[in-house]
Amino acid sequence: MTNAEVKAAVDEALKDLEEEVRALDFAKVHERSTAHRLAVHLESKFPGWDVDCEYDRDLTAKKLLAGIAECNERRQRDDIFPDIIVHHRGLQGREDNLLAIEIKKNCREDPCDRRKLELLTKQQDNSLPYRYQFGLYLNFNFASKEFDQTWYKRGCSERI
């Protein structure tokens, strides 16, 4: 999928989710609930892809990113649980890993999530097995009732 197609699909799903935000008080709902509702809306926007929340598997092993534990003193291990991924279950590599999404509420920047998205989208390092084509950090801003978006490609934040 192209940059424009991925962004348009995510924007459509966010628009659908924003209608729920008006009906529900998302300020009182955990970010996992928000991620789940967004994943529900994403499924129809990405036909042929699997959309999963908190997916912690890489085939039969746990998803791991070396060095992630170092980004926060509370983290004990390098295992990761992306909030939402768009992928082909049971397959590996760039062509089967489309999009990884991390969601926060009223948190414009999270160093661990930023590092995770950088590593998940890094393409040059063959020791990193995931190589997602896109990463997205979504911050639900309570004041504006909107999602601030920071996109990642090739290990860097990038406008798409």
Domain ranges of the chain: 3-157
Contact 64, 80 (CB under 8 A): yes
pLDDT confidence of residue 100: 96
| pLDDT tens digits in sequence order for the chain, 160 residues long | 999 999 999 999 999 988 876 656 666 777 888 899 999 999 999 999 999 998 765 545 456 566 666 665 555 555 677 899 999 998 878 899 999 999 998 888 888 889 889 988 987 766 667 789 999 999 988 777 788 999 999 988 988 8
3-state secondary structure 26-49: HHHCCHHHHHHHHHHHHHHHCCCC
Tell me how far apart the alpha carbons of residues 8 and 66 are, in angstroms, rounded to a whole number: 32
Whole-angstrom Cα distance, residue 118 to residue 120? Answer: 6
Fold of 3-157: tt1808, chain A (3.90.1570)
Q: What is the pLDDT of residue 61?
A: 47
- What pLDDT is recorded for position 8? 98
Supply 88's token pair: 């082909």
Q: Which residues does 142 contact at the CB level (< 8 Å), separation at least 6?
A: 27, 105, 106
Pairing of strands 146-153, 61-62: unpaired
**Burial classification of residue 51, based on how many CB atoms lie within 10 Å of its CB (0-12 exposed, 13-18 middle, 19 or more buried):** buried
